[in-house]
Chains A and B, each alone.
Chain A
Amino acid sequence: GDSVTQMEGPVTLSEEAFLTINCTYTATGYPSLFWYVQYPGEGLQLLLKATKADDKGSNKGFEATYRKETTSFHLEKGSVQVSDSAVYFCALSDRNTGGFKTIFGAGTRLFVKA
Chain B
Amino acid sequence: DGGITQSPKYLFRKEGQNVTLSCEQNLNHDAMYWYRQDPGQGLRLIYYSQIVNDFQKGDIAEGYSVSREKKESFPLTVTSAQKNPTAFYLCASSMRTEAFFGQGTRLTVV
Binding site for B on A (CB under 8 A): 32, 34, 36, 41-46, 49, 51, 89, 91, 93, 98-102, 104-107, 109
Interface string of B47-75 (1 = CB under 8 A from A): 01011000000000000000000000000
Interface size on B, residues (CB 8 A): 27
Binding site for A on B (CB under 8 A): 4, 6, 30-31, 33, 35, 40-43, 45, 48, 50-51, 90, 92, 94, 96-104, 106
Contact partner of B101 among A43, A98, A106, CB < 8 A? A43
Cβ-defined contact, A107 with B97, below 8 A: no
Cβ-defined contact, A51 with B97, below 8 A: yes
Report if A98-B99 is in contact (Cβ < 8 Å); known contacts: A104-B43, A107-B41.
no
Assembly CA distance A71 to B64 (angstroms) = 34
Contact partner of B42 among A46, A49, A51, A106, CB < 8 A? A106
| Chain B interface SS verdict (over half) | strand
Total contacts A-B at CB 8 Å: 64
Cβ-defined contact, A101 with B48, below 8 A: yes
Nearest CB on B from A5, distance (A): 11
Cβ-defined contact, B42 with A105, below 8 A: yes
Report if A44-B90 is in contact (Cβ < 8 Å); known contacts: A98-B50, A101-B45.
yes
